[in-house]
């Protein structure tokens, strides 16, 4: 197997480099669905956190005041990071200037110009065709080299912007979960501190003397006849069974 010439080696090297950089540029666009899903999750967490936020209390001596200050700081951080994510995503996908190899029609025009040049120099037949192929290869090597360098420079900027967007997206998710945790803990603390509904009523207890007060003391019925109180050992009342008439 014959060893490749320098032109053949450079042609393969620059062609593969251009294809690799071109595919790398498309990978940036393929990652957009992931960013869209993560952003939707962050916005959902923010919406749930906003509904669960307690009312604001402007009282520096209250524990709730400092909890709200912490939640406000975390919320500001989430909003800033989300805005930064959108900015870097725009920088990653915005339109850029690319250099691509010449189209087929331009290659045909180059071939005709090279053929005319070498024909005027006295070449013909196999020598003419070999000279045309060599010149075309040299031109294409230069074109692929410029295209690969341009694509690499654009990819460096795109990948940097995508990396920045990813890091800020992770930060936004972390802050969103932190807000959810703070709201959850604050709700549990408030449930322990708040009075329990349905507790014992002090007014319904009985005093020490045994008399019912409050709800235990029933009101006396109006017009109800009072039972006569009999005194043990006393004289029987007149009119009761077994009464005696007046003695003369």
- Reported as a single tens digit per residue, the pLDDT across 167-219 is 999 998 888 888 888 877 877 776 665 555 554 544 444 444 544 444 444 44
Q: What's the pLDDT score for residue 2?
A: 63
Q: What's the pLDDT score for residue 81?
A: 92
Phi (first) and psi of residue 31, to 5 degrees = -85, -5
- Mean pLDDT across the chain: 77
Whether 238 shows a pLDDT value over 60: the answer reads: no
Among 202, 179, 183, residue whose Cα is nearest residue 191: 183
Beta strands in the chain, from DSSP E residues, in sequence order: none
Among 169, 179, 166, 168, residue whose Cα is nearest residue 47: 179
CB 101 within 8 A of CB 110: no
CB 169 within 8 A of CB 81: yes
97 DSSP assignment: -
Q: Could you give the CA distance from residue 113 to residue 121 in angstroms, rounded to a whole number?
A: 13
H or E stretch covering 106: helix 104-120
Token pair of 187, please? 């709700």
Give the residue carrying structure tokens 């669960």.
52
pLDDT confidence tier of residue 114, bands split at 50, 70 and 90? very high
Among 201, 230, 198, residue whose Cα is nearest residue 214: 201
User: Mean per-residue pLDDT for 211-233?
Assistant: 48
Q: Could you give the CA distance from residue 42 to residue 37 in angstroms, rounded to a whole number?
A: 9
Q: What's the pLDDT score for residue 13?
A: 92
Q: What's the pLDDT score for residue 55?
A: 65
Q: What's the pLDDT score for residue 210?
A: 46
Rounded percentage of the chain residues whose pLDDT exceeds 90? 32
Entry pTM = 0.62
């Amino acid at each position: 197997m014959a060893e490749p010439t320098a032109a053949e080696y450079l042609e393969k090297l620059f062609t593969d480099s251009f294809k690799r950089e071109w595919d790398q540029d498309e990978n940036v666009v393929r990652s957009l669905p992931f960013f869209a899903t993560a952003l939707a999750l962050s916005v959902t967490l923010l919406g749930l956190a906003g509904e669960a936020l307690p009312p604001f209390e402007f009282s520096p001596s209250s524990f709730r005041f400092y909890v709200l200050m912490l939640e406000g700081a975390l919320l500001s951080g989430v909003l800033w990071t989300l805005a930064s994510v959108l900015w870097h995503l725009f920088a990653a996908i915005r339109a850029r200037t690319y250099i691509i190899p010449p189209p087929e029609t331009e290659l045909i025009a180059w071939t005709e110009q090279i053929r005319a040049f070498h024909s005027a120099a006295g070449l013909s037949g196999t020598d003419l065709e070999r000279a045309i192929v060599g010149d075309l290869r040299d031109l294409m090597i230069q074109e692929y080299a410029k295209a690969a360098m341009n694509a690499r420079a654009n990819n460096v900027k795109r990948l940097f912007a995508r990396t920045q967007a990813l890091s800020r997206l992770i930060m936004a998710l972390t802050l969103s979960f932190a807000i959810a945790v703070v709201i959850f803990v604050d709700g549990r603390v408030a449930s322990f501190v708040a009075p329990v509904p349905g507790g014992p009523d002090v007014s319904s207890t009985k005093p020490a003397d045994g008399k019912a007060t409050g709800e235990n003391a029933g009101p006396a019925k109006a017009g109800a006849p009072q039972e006569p109180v009999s005194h043990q050992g006393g004289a029987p009342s007149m009119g009761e069974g077994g009464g005696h008439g007046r003695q003369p």
